Structures are given as structure tokens and as C-alpha cells.
Chains A and B, each alone.
Chain A
Amino acid sequence: MQKKWEQNLALSTLKYLSIDLVGDFVYWPVWWFSFGAKKWGFFCLQKLKDAENRLGLRIWFFNLTTPMFAQYDWQGRMISFFIRLIVLVFKTIAFIFYAIFVIALFLLWFILPLFVIYQIWINLNHLISIKS
């Protein structure tokens, strides 16, 4: 009696789980290009923000006209402005490179599955053609 009950329950549960698994597998691409992409996007954005913070880009931009090392005379101001400008340019370039890298990473999310499927297709085709 007890055994029967357990068997029934196990069967029905396994049946339910299998259907759930199939549904999950079907939902996975949908998730990948919607919620998953969104999450990945936020992750990349955070990376960009961290980089900005590390470089101090904003601090350097807003202090462009503030003399460095408290040299408030006009010579000091001038030198400091140009130095700041140069540093800012370099920092910006560094940031742009990093940003390109991060954006590439973001795009990879979308491209990777398609690329993988395409590769599988090519490989299969090739291998089948060899056989035949």
C-alpha cells in the first residue's frame, strides 16, 4: 500500500519534472536574449562605472580649471590647465579603449550563441559530406 503510493507519487513527480525540464530548455533562449541580456548589460555598465571611478575621469574633468598643487598664480594656472588637459586626454583614451572592450564583451553575449550554432551547422555539414 505504502509502496504503491510512493511509486505513484514518484512517477507523477518525475513526469512533471521532465515536462518542466523541456519547458525550461525552451525558455532558455528567450531568457538569454531578454532578462539575461539585461543582466549582462548591467554587469558591463558596472564595469564601465568602476573604470571611470578608478581613472577619476570625472574628478579630472571638473577640476580642469583648478590649478594643481595650489599654484594660484597665472603661470601656475596655465601650466596646470595644459597638464590637466593632457592627462585628461590620455585618461579618456584609456577609458575609450576599455569601453570598446566592455562593449565588445556585451555584444559577445548576443553573438556567441548564434556563432556557436553556426559552427555546429558547418561542422555537421562538413562531417556528413565527408561520410557521404
Chain B
Amino acid sequence: MENQELQIKYIECPTCSGAGVLDDKRCNKCFGQPLMAWTGKVLLYWGKRIDKATIYQDNLKSAFKFFIDSILLFIATAGLIFGFRHFLVLQQGFIPLWQFYKYPSWSLLIFWVSLLFDGYLFYRLEQDYERFKIRIYQHPNNQSMMHHAIDWTLARDLGKNYKRNVSKTFSKEALDAITKSWKYAVKYKHSEILPLHLLISLFQYQQTRIVFGRLGIDNKKLKEKIRTNFSNIKLPPATNTIFSKDLLKVLYEGYLIAYEEHGKKVEIVDILVALIKIENPVKEIFYDVEIDLDKMSNIASWIRVRKLMYLRLQRFRKRASLKPKGNVNRAMTAVATPMLDTFSQDLTVLAKYGYLAPCVGRKDEIASIFRMVEGGPRKATVLVGNPGTGRRTIIEGIAQLMAEEQVPEAFQDKRLVSISLAKLIGGVEPSVAGKRLLITLNEVIRSGNIVLFISDIHNMIGITSGSEEGSLDLAATLASIMSRSRLTVLATTTFQDYTKYVENSALGNVFDKLEVSEPHGNEAIQILEAKTGAIENKNNVWFSYDAVEKAATLSDRYLHDRFLPEKAIELLEETAIRVHRERGKDSIIKGEDIAQIITEKTKIPLTKITESESDKLLNLEQIIHQRMVDQQEAVNMISASLRRARAGLREGKKPIANLLFLGPTGVGKTELAKTVAEVYFGSEDNMIRLDMTEYQDQSSIYRLIGDTRTKQAGFLTEEVRKRSFALVLLDEIEKAHPDLINIFLQVMDDGRLTDASGRTIDFTSTVIIATSNANSIYIQNRVKQGAGAVEIKNELMEQGELVKHFKPEFLNRLDGIIVFKPLSLEDVEAIANLQLKKVAASLELKGVFLEVTPAAVAELSKQGYDPKFGARPLKRVIQEKVTDSLTNLLLEEKLGRRDVVTYDIGGNIKIKKADT
């Protein structure tokens, strides 16, 4: 019900309409409280006047208080000194000290009087403490009030219980900051205190600096923004400086944030969050430096969690001090458990001495476990979840609660003991292991103060001494004892092992199942925030919020084999170690550092685009054309989609691009794919090439994604799993079995594929290019008739030619179908030039320079040109005519270093010897 607080409704003073002043004088209806806020349950108002007189008075008051307290302290000290003097005198007269009061003296009189004043001092300190203790109280939960429409007169008449003087709940620092903001406004003769004044004054406090430090923003830019905004403030000059409406709204909002977070006082972080929640110029400033509400709220909760963990640690130490450290419980009903002690570890003792990491969040899971064990028919729970999702942390959280005795009765005065299966089973026959288990369980039952924890319980299944089918294994032994004795057992297993082994075994009947899901988004971020403290201390570095957020989001998206929060925590640790090594002590870890590490792991470019890379991206077409001739449309389309992917402007759940290249053989389809692999993915090796002619029957599907029966991994899934940043080339796709193409439908749509062993393979960082020779005759004919590539593509689609080869759903999922034109003689000439350059390059390694005359190039192109086979024959021609003759010359040792070879028409080769 707590969160049902309605949207705040602001109520303005009708006389001054919320301005607080009338004709340059304080409004005499609202007395400087022009704006109140109705939350649906209580009325918020700002009861503290801040002006010259009150500030002056406050200062005077604290000086006066300091003066009185000093006098009292002086009296107390004097009393002590005179009391001591009295004792000395008594001692000289050999009078027993306990009779000190029987011998009156001036010293004693001063001592007694000072004692009386000490009482008064104690009273004053207590009163101060009481005032300081005023905190945010629970709002009354009166449903009938919720829908009341409240206006100014009604609001003023509300009962005391429904009103909250917000100013009383602000922490000393927060109040101080507000006073400072008033001073700023007065200094610059502004008639109103704006949120901007408040922001400026907040910067003088440690907490604000921590927040902005964690945000890792450019301080210079922020200050610049604030400065320009400040100089733009245009307010009429006035004698009175009062709270602006926006500021009051911010203060009310700050109160509500603190209230919802169960804070005791409104702290500076709450005000910072409120500044971004309420529409005002400060919000715009924050947006300009890339701070949004989500970021700010998460930072605030980070700071709160830190504080809470510190408080919790103090409380924990006190409470856990009573937990016994041995085997015996406080009621002394337990027995010695020698066998159990050999094979186990006492988690409650570890918790008592503070060896376990705190468990953050996970309240629901722990409550469910308690509920299941307390109320359920079975007293055992198995936590089912993927490795790294925090199952063990939940168990350790329970151990800590048990050390504090903050647990339901079934767990009270007990210890949580983790059995190590490895120790129990290790190095002995199954029959011995079985015997050990029986003795251990017997000890547990007799002792009666033990909650067992078995990690990876599925490992117990199948360990049996009997050879026949149906003989009892360790798991069945445990199950049968559990069903008879109502042992309390907690266990963990994974989803796969649960369905495969546990569910249908004897264990399935004695355990309740609790699924532990992988935390995502804000939940994961908050878990990480709680973990950062230890990592920061160990490595002497600081995490910015951006780093924590990136660790959660990027690892979620790009590291697929493992699970949150573990993978993100390890990422943070790894980055911390590296940053400490590279930049030294007290460095701040930014989001970029995290992105860099993920990039190194996955090869996916995630860091911010550098200038040289941005140049490269903008000129992708030219770069590709250094290797590719013509095929303008194809090059443009693929360049555009790569740019989109790198700039982060594509849909996240699909491959970077799904393309179909159509055209006759030898026109550059595969060549373009290779070029893209080299230019964008770093190397031609990052092209995963599947010749679909090899996948013509249905059973070849197993070669592609793996076989569940033979446990053989699939070629495609395995390759993409190893390097998810790659180009997948499906050569001659029309030749593949239709079922295989169906598999690609899912990949093209969702960007993922599940392999035979149940792993999800991520395709979202791949480019999928399918090539096909289908309809190439038609394409050639139409080109001869002078049709353009786009025209031909439209014709193919409209006439349904393509549908003959591909299903419509396949065609629909493609981002682009690109028709490659057959090459013209000019194209082939250009290609010949490119290929000759390659030959020249390899010759240059031997120190020989190759020159080919233009006429020779034309001749070679003519010989190598075949409209049907594109540029393929050209390669052969160049090899036969140029490469082979040069090889012969090299073998005959007619070529020396720095010689220049000129290739001319008719295969004439001239050698110009280098000057010796």
C-alpha cells in the first residue's frame, strides 16, 4: 500500500497565487508559505523561514548555546578538580575515602554543586539529541482521504496528523545548503531562490562531490553550463528574497523520495534526485551532461546501500556475538558430529566471524525459503538456477541471518552446515561413501541443531555400490532418510541438471523447488553497487556509475556463456586490477574501461568511436572499393548497415545485417563478403564460410547446429560461439535443404540460435550474407538489354521468380536483396589492374618491381573476359601469362634485387637491370 501515494498535487495560496509576495511585500495570507503539496495522505509544507533576520537569529542562538555549554563544561571540570583536592586532603589525614562526604569543605561543596550542573548538562545534551532525532514519520494510511479534493482553506484546517513540516526532516547539511542558496540569491540581488542557486550551494558538500564523481561527468562542462544558466537568470530586483515555486517543489519531492526509500532524514542525495525529477532549468543542465533520472536514482540508491551496509555490519557484529562458535547450540541439546565435521564447513561460524560477503536484494528468495521450510509439507528446498546467478549468495545470506538469529523458529539456535560432496565421495568406493553419508546424516539427526546445505546436489545421483539396475545410490539414500526424519536441507542445482536428474529421481519428491532467476537491469546494477566496495578497497580505485552500469548491461548482452551477476562482478574485478596497474592509485574506472575489456574478450567494437575509426566508417565505400570493382548498390547498402551497427542505432535483437547477393558466378559476391570481413571484422579469417552445397540433405542439419545424441558440436554454432563478431557467409544458399533455411529464419529474426547442448548462441554481432546463382541467366539477359540492377530486382520480386527458389518468409527477413550486375569489359580491366597489383606486391617482397603497360592490361582483360563467368577466367589468364613467366624468370635467376620488369603486349617481358 506504501507505494500507492498519489501524484503530488500542489496547492497555491489564492491571494498571492503561489508567489509569496504581493506588491513587493510578504503576502499576509500565507506568510511565506505560498505553496503546499498534497500527497493524498499528508499535506507537506515548508515551515522554516529563511531570511536575514532568522539566519542572524540562528547564528546568535548557536553562539549563545555554545557559550552556555562551555560554562557548564568549565563547572564540571572545576568540580572534578576540587573533588580530587578534597580526596587528597582526606588521604593526608588518614581518613577512609568512602567517608568523604562526612567531612564538609569548600572543595566538597564545589564538587556537589558541579555535580548538580552536570545533571543539567546531561539534560541539555539529551534535548539536543531528541531534536536531532526528529525523522520522517510514517504517513497515516487513511484511504478515505486519498480521493479528497483539497483546496487552500481545507488544507489549512487539516489535523496535525495530516500535516508534515518538511523542513524539520531535512538533515543539517541539507538545511545548511538551502541557507547557502539563499545567500547566493541575496548576493546577486535575485528576488527568488531558484533550484539553480540550490545546485550551486550543493556543490560545497562532500556528498554532492561523491555523486558527481561517481557519475564520472565532465566537471568543466557542467560548471560551464551552470555559469551560462546563472548569468541568464532574469529576475526583477526586490527587497525580499523568497523561495521560488520550483524550489519548493524540489524540496517536497526530495522529502517524498526520502520517505519512499525509508530514509530517516532528507539527505543531499535526495535533493539531487528531486532536482532532476521536477521540471526546472537544472534538469536541462543535467540532461546536457548526460545525467538522467535513472542514473541519478541508481547513484542515490548506491550511496544509501553503502550507508545501510555499514549500519548493518555494526548491528550484525553485536547480534552475532552471542552465536556459539562450536558445534553445540545454546540449549546444549546438540551432540558432537565428528564425521560431519570432516566433510563439511560451518557457514554460520564463517558468518559470525565476517567471512561471508553481504547478500543484497534477494529478500524475496530468502522469504520464500523460510516460508517453504516453515509451512510447506517438505522441509527441504532446492534452489534451481544457472551458475553465477547468486544461489550460493542466498545461502550465505541465510547463514548471516542465522548468526544474527533474525530467522523463523525452524532456523533458530541452529547452524547451517555445507557438506562437501567432493570430500564425501573422494577417493573411496561408492559403498564407503554411502556409509559415510549414513553416519553423517545420523549425526545430523541426533544433533538436531543442523540445517544441511548441499551444493550441486545432482552430483549425488548415480553413485551406487550396487551393480544391478535399481540399486540405491547416494541420492536415494538421502531422499529416504529425509522423508522419514524431516531433516531441514537446502540444496542447489542448475536448470539442466534439475530436469535431467533431480526432477524424476527420489530427490524430486523430497525437495521443494525454488527458481533463482538471473537479475537484469536495475536489479543487477544494484547488486553490483553493493559489491563494488570490496573491489574498490582491494585495488585502491573508484568505480564511476557508468562503469557499473556498463558492466551489467554489456556483459548481459555480449558475454553469453555465463550469467549475471557473477560475470559482471568478475568483469569489475578484472577492470579494477588493470586500471590500477595502468593508471595507479585512486583512478576512476569509467564505462569506457569496461567496454574496452569486453571488446578484447569478444572483439566486438564497443568503445566510443575514435576519430580515425569514424573517418574509416564514413569512407567505408571508398575503402571497400579499393578491393572491389563497381557493384555500387551492394557496397552502399552494406556500408550503411555497418555504420548503423557501430553507431548503436540498430535494433538490438537482430544480426547487424541479413543480405542476399544475387547474380551470376564471378561477379564479386564472395569477394565483397571477404572485403567486408577484412575491413570491418579485422581480417578475412573472421568470415565463417558455409558452402551450402554441402548441406543438401536433411541430416546435415546436425553438422550445422550439433547433435544431441552424439554430443557432437555444430560447425556454425561452435564457430559463432567462439567468435561472435564475424561475418557468416552462406554460399549458394539455394542449394541447401529447405529445413536448413528454416533454421536461419530464426537467426535472422531473433539473432540467436540454440545449439544441441542447449546453449544460446548470439548472432547479434554478425553480418549474415547469403549468395545465390538463382536466376542468373535471367539477370544476364536483362543486363544485356540494358536494365539496371534495381530494376532487375523489382522484376524478380514481382514476377515471383525468386519465390521459386526461396520461401517468402525467408525473403521477408532479409534487410536487402542485391542484384550483382554481370561485369563489363571496363570492370574486368579494373579488376585486372587490382589483381596485377597483387602480383606486383608479392614480387616486391623479392625486391623486384613489376610494371604492366596499359595495352598489356587491355589485352589480358580481353583474354580473361567471359560474360558468362565474370572475372573468374581473368585470374587464370593472369596466372598463366604473368605469374608463370615471372616464376620462370625467378627460377632461372635472371631477376635480381631492384630490377624492374616490364610486361608488354604479347607476353613480352623486358628486364631493366638495376645499376650496380
What residues of chain A have their CB less than 8 Å away from a CB belonging to chain B? 6, 9-10, 13-14, 17, 21, 24-25, 28, 31-32, 36, 39, 53-54, 56, 59-60, 62-63, 66-70, 84, 112-113, 116-117, 119-120, 122-124, 126-127
Known: A14-B60, A67-B333. A120 touches B113 (CB 8 A): yes
Interface pair B116/A69, CB less than 8 Å apart: no
In the assembled complex, the Cα of A62 lies from the Cα of B123 at a distance in Å of 42
In the assembled complex, the CB of A68 is this many whole angstroms from the nearest CB of chain B, namely 5
Interface pair A117/B116, CB less than 8 Å apart: yes
Residue numbers in B under 8 Å from A126 (CB-CB): 104
Known: A13-B61, A70-B448. A53 touches B322 (CB 8 A): yes
Q: Can you report 12 A-B residue pairs in the complex whose CB atoms are below 8 A from each other?
A: A28-B123, A54-B322, A59-B330, A59-B413, A63-B331, A69-B328, A112-B119, A113-B119, A116-B119, A120-B113, A122-B104, A127-B105
Interface pair B120/A28, CB less than 8 Å apart: yes
When C-beta atoms are compared, the residue in chain A nearest to B123 turns out to be A28
Interface pair B61/A17, CB less than 8 Å apart: yes
Whether, in the assembled complex, B108 has its beta carbon less than 8 Å from a beta carbon of chain A, the answer is yes
Interface pair B109/A68, CB less than 8 Å apart: no
Near A by CB (< 8 A), chain B positions 94-147 give 101, 104-106, 108-109, 112-113, 115-116, 119-120, 123-124, 126
Interface pair B104/A39, CB less than 8 Å apart: no
In the assembled complex, the CB of B406 is this many whole angstroms from the nearest CB of chain A, namely 13
Given contact pairs A56-B330, A119-B112, A124-B109, enumerate 15 new A-B contacts (beta carbons under 8 Å): A13-B57, A13-B60, A24-B124, A28-B119, A39-B126, A62-B331, A63-B332, A69-B332, A69-B333, A70-B333, A84-B332, A119-B101, A122-B104, A123-B104, A123-B109
Residue numbers in B under 8 Å from A122 (CB-CB): 104
Say which residue of B60, B113, B124, B328 sits within 8 Å of A17 (CB atoms).
B60
Residue numbers in A under 8 Å from B56 (CB-CB): 6, 9-10, 13
Residue numbers in B under 8 Å from A25 (CB-CB): 120
In the assembled complex, the Cα of A13 lies from the Cα of B62 at a distance in Å of 12
Residue numbers in A under 8 Å from B448 (CB-CB): 70
When C-beta atoms are compared, the residue in chain A nearest to B328 turns out to be A69
Interface pair B123/A36, CB less than 8 Å apart: yes
Interface pair A66/B101, CB less than 8 Å apart: no
Whether, in the assembled complex, B649 has its beta carbon less than 8 Å from a beta carbon of chain A, the answer is no
Interface pair A120/B116, CB less than 8 Å apart: yes
In the assembled complex, the CB of B712 is this many whole angstroms from the nearest CB of chain A, namely 55
In the assembled complex, the Cα of A24 lies from the Cα of B113 at a distance in Å of 18
Whether, in the assembled complex, B334 has its beta carbon less than 8 Å from a beta carbon of chain A, the answer is yes
Interface pair B126/A36, CB less than 8 Å apart: yes
In the assembled complex, the Cα of A54 lies from the Cα of B323 at a distance in Å of 10
In the assembled complex, the Cα of A13 lies from the Cα of B61 at a distance in Å of 8
In the assembled complex, the Cα of A25 lies from the Cα of B68 at a distance in Å of 12
Near A by CB (< 8 A), chain B positions 323-344 give 328, 330-336
What residues of chain B have their CB less than 8 Å away from a CB belonging to chain A? 53, 56-57, 60-61, 64, 68, 101, 104-106, 108-109, 112-113, 115-116, 119-120, 123-124, 126, 322, 328, 330-336, 413, 446-448
Residue numbers in A under 8 Å from B332 (CB-CB): 63, 68-69, 84
Residue numbers in B under 8 Å from A39 (CB-CB): 126
In the assembled complex, the Cα of A132 lies from the Cα of B705 at a distance in Å of 114
Say which residue of B68, B108, B124, B333 sits within 8 Å of A68 (CB atoms).
B333
**Taking chain B's interface residues, is the majority helix, strand, or loop, or is none over half, making it mixed?**
helix
In the assembled complex, the CB of B134 is this many whole angstroms from the nearest CB of chain A, namely 15
Which 10 A-B pairs have CB atoms at the shortest separation, nearest pair first? A126-B104, A123-B109, A63-B331, A123-B104, A70-B335, A119-B112, A70-B446, A120-B112, A68-B332, A28-B123
In the assembled complex, the Cα of A60 lies from the Cα of B104 at a distance in Å of 51
When C-beta atoms are compared, the residue in chain A nearest to B110 turns out to be A123
Known: A17-B60, A53-B322. A116 touches B116 (CB 8 A): yes
**Taking chain A's interface residues, is the majority helix, strand, or loop, or is none over half, making it mixed?**
helix
In the assembled complex, the Cα of A32 lies from the Cα of B328 at a distance in Å of 46
Say which residue of A68, A116, A123 sits within 8 Å of B105 (CB atoms).
A123
In the assembled complex, the Cα of A59 lies from the Cα of B333 at a distance in Å of 11
In the assembled complex, the CB of B99 is this many whole angstroms from the nearest CB of chain A, namely 13
Known: A36-B126, A69-B334, A70-B334. A116 touches B120 (CB 8 A): no
Known: A32-B119, A117-B116. A17 touches B331 (CB 8 A): no
Interface pair B322/A59, CB less than 8 Å apart: no
In the assembled complex, the CB of B777 is this many whole angstroms from the nearest CB of chain A, namely 91
Interface pair B333/A127, CB less than 8 Å apart: no
In the assembled complex, the Cα of A120 lies from the Cα of B110 at a distance in Å of 9
Interface pair A32/B105, CB less than 8 Å apart: no
In the assembled complex, the Cα of A36 lies from the Cα of B446 at a distance in Å of 51
Interface pair A127/B109, CB less than 8 Å apart: yes
In the assembled complex, the CB of A81 is this many whole angstroms from the nearest CB of chain B, namely 12
In the assembled complex, the Cα of A117 lies from the Cα of B124 at a distance in Å of 20
Residue numbers in A under 8 Å from B124 (CB-CB): 24
Interface pair A14/B64, CB less than 8 Å apart: yes
Interface pair A60/B331, CB less than 8 Å apart: yes
Residue numbers in B under 8 Å from A62 (CB-CB): 331
Interface pair A17/B64, CB less than 8 Å apart: yes
When C-beta atoms are compared, the residue in chain A nearest to B446 turns out to be A70
When C-beta atoms are compared, the residue in chain B nearest to A28 turns out to be B123
In the assembled complex, the CB of A44 is this many whole angstroms from the nearest CB of chain B, namely 16
Residue numbers in A under 8 Å from B113 (CB-CB): 120
In the assembled complex, the CB of B95 is this many whole angstroms from the nearest CB of chain A, namely 16
Residue numbers in B under 8 Å from A6 (CB-CB): 56
Interface pair A123/B108, CB less than 8 Å apart: yes
Residue numbers in B under 8 Å from A24 (CB-CB): 124
When C-beta atoms are compared, the residue in chain B nearest to A18 turns out to be B64
In the assembled complex, the CB of B330 is this many whole angstroms from the nearest CB of chain A, namely 5
In the assembled complex, the CB of A129 is this many whole angstroms from the nearest CB of chain B, namely 10
Interface pair B331/A127, CB less than 8 Å apart: no
Say which residue of B57, B112, B334 sits within 8 Å of A116 (CB atoms).
B112
When C-beta atoms are compared, the residue in chain B nearest to A12 turns out to be B57
Residue numbers in B under 8 Å from A28 (CB-CB): 119-120, 123
Residue numbers in B under 8 Å from A117 (CB-CB): 116
Interface pair B57/A9, CB less than 8 Å apart: yes
When C-beta atoms are compared, the residue in chain B nearest to A84 turns out to be B332
From B57, B104, B336, B448, name the one whose CB has the most chain A CB atoms within 10 angstroms. Answer: B104
In the assembled complex, the Cα of A21 lies from the Cα of B328 at a distance in Å of 58
In the assembled complex, the Cα of A62 lies from the Cα of B695 at a distance in Å of 76
Residue numbers in A under 8 Å from B60 (CB-CB): 10, 13-14, 17
Interface pair A31/B68, CB less than 8 Å apart: no
Residue numbers in A under 8 Å from B331 (CB-CB): 56, 59-60, 62-63, 66
In the assembled complex, the CB of B123 is this many whole angstroms from the nearest CB of chain A, namely 5
Say which residue of B115, B119, B126, B333 sits within 8 Å of A63 (CB atoms).
B333
In the assembled complex, the Cα of A92 lies from the Cα of B57 at a distance in Å of 57
In the assembled complex, the CB of A11 is this many whole angstroms from the nearest CB of chain B, namely 10
Interface pair B333/A66, CB less than 8 Å apart: yes
In the assembled complex, the Cα of A117 lies from the Cα of B120 at a distance in Å of 13
Interface pair A69/B126, CB less than 8 Å apart: no
Residue numbers in A under 8 Å from B106 (CB-CB): 127
When C-beta atoms are compared, the residue in chain A nearest to B102 turns out to be A122
In the assembled complex, the CB of B681 is this many whole angstroms from the nearest CB of chain A, namely 66
In the assembled complex, the CB of A110 is this many whole angstroms from the nearest CB of chain B, namely 12
In the assembled complex, the Cα of A123 lies from the Cα of B110 at a distance in Å of 10
Known: A66-B331, A69-B335. A123 touches B112 (CB 8 A): yes
In the assembled complex, the Cα of A39 lies from the Cα of B652 at a distance in Å of 61
In the assembled complex, the CB of B87 is this many whole angstroms from the nearest CB of chain A, namely 15
Say which residue of A59, A67, A113, A124 sits within 8 Å of B116 (CB atoms).
A113
Residue numbers in B under 8 Å from A70 (CB-CB): 333-335, 446-448
In the assembled complex, the Cα of A126 lies from the Cα of B105 at a distance in Å of 8
From B101, B105, B123, B448, name the one whose CB has the most chain A CB atoms within 10 angstroms. Answer: B123
In the assembled complex, the Cα of A84 lies from the Cα of B126 at a distance in Å of 44
Residue numbers in B under 8 Å from A67 (CB-CB): 333
Residue numbers in B under 8 Å from A60 (CB-CB): 331
In the assembled complex, the Cα of A113 lies from the Cα of B68 at a distance in Å of 21
